[in-house]
Amino acid sequence: MGAQRTKGVSFNVVGTIGENTEDRLNWSLSLNGRHQKQNYRNIGSSLELLNDELKSTSLTRYRDGGSPTDIWAVRSAGIDPMTGKEIYIKKDGSYTFDYDINDEMVVGNTEPLLEGVFGTNLYYKGFSFSAYFRYRIDADYFNTELYNRIENLKTTEMTSYNQDKRALYDRWQQPGDQAQYKKITETVSDNETAPMTSRYVQKENTLSGESISLAYEFGEQKWLKKVFLKNMTIRANMNDIFRCSTIKAERGTSYPFARTVSFSVNMTF
């Protein structure tokens, strides 16, 4: 049905900061990263029927020159302070209150400008410490939390379940309000869905603690021989211990993630 081309660059840098055999010292730093772009080719109009089906349910389109990581939606100028309605931007740049799916265009890309891992590894007289952090820079993200739980809130759900407080306090309520979400009277009913627009696309910059480890190797010490040990190492590990991001999004509802802390003792007899 066509082709997909991926172009990019990746790098991996490792450097030794300090090294001393007598003091059993070794300290190194590492950094790797990746930048890439993808696009479709030679598709023509063969997938337009599929694109039409995706317009109401998905942000993905299959078109020549497009990318599998593109976000397709109608552009939004925000909420009109006087009426509480969303202002849509047409392809010619004019404003309208009438949503038209034919005005959709690429409004973002989930592929980051740069992503990778950096870290350090230190060993000194039996002590060892390592830490690795994952980063994502300048990626676009369609925040489904805002779309599903706040803007696309069903009228029957408003009184039946607990809701995100932003569904009420961040909505337009009276003329002159500079609000992020449409007025409550325009909350969608059970048989309709609010349109997907660029208003839910946010810029993502993320730093996470992927792996942190601290250990001590006792080596050949006299007290070890008294308990019939040749060597013993104690170690503490932390995985995914923190995550800092420029956006707030729900994580782990369907496939829960875990912040893991573990301890271990290795003994050699």
- Asked if 262 and 242 touch (Cβ cutoff 8 Å), the reply is no
Question: What pLDDT, on the 0 to 100 scale, is given for residue 101?
Answer: 92
Structure tokens, 57? 């349910």
Question: What pLDDT, on the 0 to 100 scale, is given for residue 159?
Answer: 65
Per-residue pLDDT of the chain (269 residues; tens, 9 = 90+): 889 999 999 999 999 887 777 667 899 999 999 999 999 999 988 888 898 888 878 899 999 999 999 999 999 999 999 998 999 999 999 999 999 999 999 999 999 999 999 999 999 888 999 999 999 999 999 998 888 888 877 666 666 667 777 777 888 888 998 988 887 655 455 556 778 899 999 999 999 999 999 999 887 777 777 777 777 789 999 999 999 999 988 776 677 778 899 999 988 88
CA distance 61 to 109: 12
CA distance 15 to 211: 19
- Asked if 44 and 51 touch (Cβ cutoff 8 Å), the reply is no
Helices marked H in the chain: 48-54, 144-146, 166-169, 222-226
Q: Helix-strand-coil percent breakdown of the chain, rounded to 5?
A: 15, 45, 40
Question: What pLDDT, on the 0 to 100 scale, is given for residue 57?
Answer: 85
Question: What pLDDT, on the 0 to 100 scale, is given for residue 193?
Answer: 72
Helical (H) or strand (E) element with 5: strand 3-20
Structure tokens, 159? 């009184």
What does residue 229 show for φ and ψ, rounded to 5 degrees? -115, 145
Q: Which pairs with CB-CB distance under 8 Å and at least 24 residues apart come from 58-63?
A: 59/142, 59/196, 62/2
